[in-house]
Chains A and B, each alone.
Chain A
Amino acid sequence: EAGVAQSPRYKIIEKRQSVAFWCNPISGHATLYWYQQILGQGPKLLIQFQNNGVVDDSQLPKDRFSAERLKGVDSTLKIQPAKLEDSAVYLCASSTKMGWERRRETQYFGPGTRLLVL
């Protein structure tokens, strides 16, 4: 079974530029997550989708970050404009569980995209 795919693996941009990350979850997984992991910290949830609907985006900086999940499969996360503090690894994860069952789900993570903003 193929894992969660992410691209690109690395990206270097200058501040105020825009950037987009792509995620392809495991086939059949209804729930998709985007996390931000700053160096030395644990991952922080940015947004959670169930199929193509947003379940939780409470920690997404909506003035600069946006995300969508087309047809309930692939997802893109965009930053526009980027700031220095956005330098981090952006992780995508997926799972099969929905709703209340998410409390006992297993999340499968991709390798992440490492972003450096100069």
Chain B
Amino acid sequence: DAKTTQPNSMESNEEEPVHLPCNHSTISGTDYIHWYRQLPSQGPEYVIHGLTSNVNNRMASLAIAEDRKSSTLILHRATLRDAAVYYCILSGWGAQKLVFGQGTRLTINP
């Protein structure tokens, strides 16, 4: 399975943008990049996914590098409710399932 590398933790301030990085140097051409987040005491929830082009939805934006070896999840204006563990996951031909790593624990300061 293609692996992803994320920082263990990040910290940001409320109402500021947050950029969560993810490296996936062994990504294959058919792998989708998924982001999920897990709030305390809850199951993971879908945030966004993409293949090659940048993607936007109401929750976040996903910026994918041109060589696809890295991506960045962008929260445009963080709130306290965005404090969670964020998982970057690849899913494609080799692994038609989500393989969760350790994720990045995001702390938002008031």
* Chain A residues near B (Cβ < 8 Å): 4, 33, 35, 41-45, 48, 56, 91, 93, 99-100, 102-112
Contacts and interface: CB of A to CB of B under 8 A. Distances in A.
Contacts, number: 55
B97 A102 contact: yes
Interface residues of B, number: 24
Given A41-B102, A45-B98, A103 B31 contact: yes
Interface of B: 30-32, 36, 42-46, 49, 51, 85, 87, 91-93, 96-103
B96 A109 contact: no
Contacts of B51: 104
Q: Is the interface of A mostly helix, strand, loop or mixed?
A: mixed
A109 B44 CA distance: 6
Contacts of A33: 97
Given A48-B97, A100-B96, A104-B51, A42 B91 contact: no
Contact of A43 (B46, B93, B100): B100
